[in-house]
Amino acid sequence: MTDPALPPVMNRAAAGVDFDSAEARARLKKRYRAEARFKALGLLAVLVTAAFLGFLLVDILRKGIPSFFEYRATLQITFDPAVVDPKGTRDVADLRGADYQALVRAALQAQFPEATDRRARRALDSMISSGAVDDLRKAVLADPGIIGQTRVMPLLLASDADLFLRQRETLITRLKGSGPLQVQGEGSNITLRNGGAAFRVALAGTKSFLAERRRALLAELATLPPAGGNASVDAKRNELEQAANAIQARITDANAPETLTDREPSLLVSIGGGILKITEIGPNDAKATTLVAPRPGSLITDWSVLTLRVPETNRRVNDAVSAWLETLAQRGMTEKAFNARFFTNGDSREPELAGIRGALIGSALTLLVTLLLCVPIGVAAAIYLEEFAPKNRFTDLLEVNINNLAAVPSIVFGLLGLAVFLNAFNLPRSAPLVGGLVLALLVLPTIIIASRAALKAVPPSIKEAALGIGASHQQAVFHHVLPLAMPGIMTGTIIGMAHALGETAPLLMIGMVAFIVDIPGAITEAATVLPVQIFLWSDLPELAFQSRTAGAIIVLLGFLLVMNAAAVILRRMFERRW
């Protein structure tokens, strides 16, 4: 601690000032208190920031990490020649145009023979992603020899089915049944009987769900004005009261059987490899219909009741499809695997097929253009302004303008890009070339300012020594000052690039906020960038895109982290202190 106030106090002490007096001690204490207070506030500020950051990171990781995994159904696919190559010519065009969906459907129907009518077939189709169909096509084109064979193929599940297996559609609770379950009847007319606790617990669950609904009705009723004032109020009160009373009548007798509709949580019974859906439940017995037929002669002591907490009407996956997925999982025919498509595919409107490769390459192309423009122009401008330019009103004005430009909102650069590059120069819309040009304008001031600071930090003695032994001004700058300023310039550049990587607003105007499936191959092809991809996905209705959004954010954060870390490392490695 260097305290500039100390010497005079000691002088005063020497001069006979009493610094041991009560007053002086109080002053000292006050000073210490102020310091302690400041430290505490500082620590608090750091903790609050860390908490916010931590919350953000945890939230994004929690939402985003699931998007790096996908669920697949591993089914036996028979590459039936009658479907794949009906003419038997092995002609590539024929193979490409074949109906591979039919292969998937046949494999699923082998598992679920009860799905025969058109509706059920469509439900079966909806379980498997169209990407799986493309995979089968690719497999056949890669090796036509598999036609006629039967292979176990991993088939990507559609996003709704995927969300169901992740329990994002509904929470599923499993209750193991005790004692044998008596099953009578078949098809849609089955009676189940069991003396154990399972049915009683399931019934109580249904009743508590109804009680919850009744509470909501009563809460609604409480917000209405008292009866007798207004006819429409009375009608509404009546309606709510009747609904609440009807539920009350159902729940007062805890043992009264309940008929289940699609507005209550679904109860499924898993038994012997099959699934039954309960339509009416009592404390010891239940009526049920078959969703997946149990294997004949299977054990009836090993069974459980599944409660799908969200009512069927509120789910995108209905009970039949739920039962099929559950059965596939029980038969060991589902697997969770790394989602490589997320990194190899371009954008798609099917959440399970959407990937970030197009956006990543778009970002890379855009940043390449920015870098190629910014570094030469920015560094040249900085050297000129710092080393060669005369100091006059004009250069002062220039400096003020550069500093000002660094603070201009980025959307303004987008408008500029639209007016100049698109409308005046007729450059293509949505191209990384234009994006790079606009972002170059955006980060140029940052680079100029950082480069000037780095040049200024090189001690004048270096340049003077060079000049002293006969170097020209330009030689002194380019051979001696610039190399020493390079780490600082590079740090500034990387930070500027990281800034450019995260920009969305200026790209809005030049058409880079767009749905682009094809992966761009050149700076004049349509492309989008990573932050824009995040923005676009966040706006789509499908639930599964929310986790994709978070996944893309994780990738973006990763790149920003790498870039900023590179800036720090460069500075540490090459920095010289004078």
Partner 1 sequence: MTSFRSTALLALALLSSTGLAAARDQIRIVGSSTVYPFTTVVAEQLGKTAGVKTPVVESTGTGGGMKLFCDGVGVQFPDATNASRRMKAGEFELCQKNGVKDIMELMIGYDGLTLAFSKKNPPLSLTRAQVFLALAKNVPGPDGKLIPNPYKTWNQVDPSLPNRPIEVLGPPPTSGTRDSFHELVLEPGAEQIPAMKALKAADRKAFDAAWKSIREDGVYVEAGENDNVIVQKLEANPGAIGIFGYSFLEENVSKVQGVKLDGVEPNEETISTLKYPAAREMFVYVKKAHIGVVPGLDKFAQEFVSNRAAGDGGYLEKKGLVPVPKDRLANSQANVANLKVMTGEGLPK
Residue 279 makes contact with partner 1 by CB under 8 A: no
- Write a three-state SS string for 277-345: EEEEECCCEEEEEEEECCCCCCCCCCEEEEEECCCHHHCCCCHHHHHHHHHHHHCCCEEEEECCHHHHC
Nearer to partner 1, 257 or 520 (CB): 520
Residue 217 makes contact with partner 1 by CB under 8 A: yes
Nearer to partner 1, 35 or 134 (CB): 134
Minimum distance between the CB of residue 133 and partner 1, rounded to whole angstroms? 10
**Which residue in 224, 406, 457, 557 binds partner 1 (CB under 8 A)?**
224
Residue 173 makes contact with partner 1 by CB under 8 A: no
**Which residue in 173, 318, 330, 524 binds partner 1 (CB under 8 A)?**
524
Residue 515 makes contact with partner 1 by CB under 8 A: yes
Query: Do 189 and 289 contact (CB within 8 A), yes or no?
Result: yes
Span of 187-195, 286-294, 408-416, 421-429 interacting with partner 1 by CB under 8 A: 421-429
What sections of 15-117 are H helices per DSSP?
22-64, 81-84, 92-97, 100-111
Residue 546 makes contact with partner 1 by CB under 8 A: yes
Minimum distance between the CB of residue 301 and partner 1, rounded to whole angstroms? 35
Residue 333, C-beta contacts closer than 8 angstroms, at least 6 positions apart? 73, 74, 75, 111
Burial 420-459 (b: 16+ CB within 10 A, else e): ebbeeeebbebbbbbbbbbbbbbbbbbbbbbbbebbeebe
Residue 230 makes contact with partner 1 by CB under 8 A: yes
Minimum distance between the CB of residue 168 and partner 1, rounded to whole angstroms? 9
Minimum distance between the CB of residue 258 and partner 1, rounded to whole angstroms? 20
- Residue 6 vs residues 10, 19, 28, 176, 569: alpha-carbon distances, Å: 6, 12, 12, 78, 40
Q: Using DSSP, state whether 190 is helix, strand or coil.
A: strand
**Which residue in 348, 389, 411, 571 binds partner 1 (CB under 8 A)?**
348
Q: Across the strands, what pairs with 339?
A: none
DSSP sequence for 344-387: H----SSTTT--SHHHHHHHHHHHHHHHHHHHHHHHHHHHIIII
Minimum distance between the CB of residue 39 and partner 1, rounded to whole angstroms? 37
Is the Cα torsion angle 284, 289, 290, 291 positive or negative in sign?
negative
Torsion of CA 311, 314, 316, 321, to 10 degrees: 20
Contact set for partner 1, span 304-343 (CB under 8 A):
310, 313-316
Count of chain residues binding partner 1 (CB under 8 A): 62
Minimum distance between the CB of residue 375 and partner 1, rounded to whole angstroms? 7
Residue 252 makes contact with partner 1 by CB under 8 A: no
CA 367 to chain centre: 23
Query: Do 464 and 471 contact (CB within 8 A), yes or no?
Result: no
Minimum distance between the CB of residue 218 and partner 1, rounded to whole angstroms? 10
Minimum distance between the CB of residue 141 and partner 1, rounded to whole angstroms? 14
Residue 106 makes contact with partner 1 by CB under 8 A: no
Span of 253-261, 346-354, 401-409, 495-503 interacting with partner 1 by CB under 8 A: 346-354
Minimum distance between the CB of residue 283 and partner 1, rounded to whole angstroms? 29
Contact set for partner 1, span 123-142 (CB under 8 A):
126, 134
Query: Do 516 and 346 contact (CB within 8 A), yes or no?
Result: yes
Residue 251 makes contact with partner 1 by CB under 8 A: no
**Which residue in 75, 356, 433, 481 binds partner 1 (CB under 8 A)?**
433
**Which residue in 198, 442, 458, 513 binds partner 1 (CB under 8 A)?**
513
Minimum distance between the CB of residue 171 and partner 1, rounded to whole angstroms? 11
Residue 242 makes contact with partner 1 by CB under 8 A: no
Q: Return d(Cα 480, Cα 490) in angstroms, integer.
A: 16
Q: Return d(Cα 326, Cα 173) in angstroms, integer.
A: 13
Minimum distance between the CB of residue 1 and partner 1, rounded to whole angstroms? 49
Query: Do 340 and 510 contact (CB within 8 A), yes or no?
Result: no
**Which residue in 427, 462, 557, 563 binds partner 1 (CB under 8 A)?**
427
Query: Do 290 and 96 contact (CB within 8 A), yes or no?
Result: no
Residue 460 makes contact with partner 1 by CB under 8 A: no
**At 40, phi and psi to the nearest 5?**
-60, -45
Least Cα distance to 153 among 108, 88, 86 occurs for: 108
Q: Which residue has the tokens 């920031």?
A: 49
Q: Return d(Cα 112, Cα 93) in angstroms, integer.
A: 32
Span of 6-14, 63-71, 225-233, 498-506 interacting with partner 1 by CB under 8 A: 225-233
Least Cα distance to 503 among 570, 460, 446 occurs for: 446
**Which residue in 373, 405, 554, 570 binds partner 1 (CB under 8 A)?**
373
Least Cα distance to 125 among 141, 109, 148 occurs for: 109
Residue 364 makes contact with partner 1 by CB under 8 A: no
Span of 62-70, 78-86, 396-404, 513-521 interacting with partner 1 by CB under 8 A: 513-521
Span of 15-23, 100-108, 280-288, 541-549 interacting with partner 1 by CB under 8 A: 541-549
- Residue 74 vs residues 84, 149, 202, 330, 506: alpha-carbon distances, Å: 20, 16, 32, 12, 45
The residues of the shown chain that bind partner 1, judged by CB under 8 A, are: 122, 126, 134, 169-170, 213, 216-217, 220, 223-225, 229-230, 232-233, 235-236, 240, 243, 310, 313-316, 348-350, 369, 372-373, 375-377, 379-380, 425-431, 433, 511, 513-518, 523-524, 526, 536, 538-543, 546
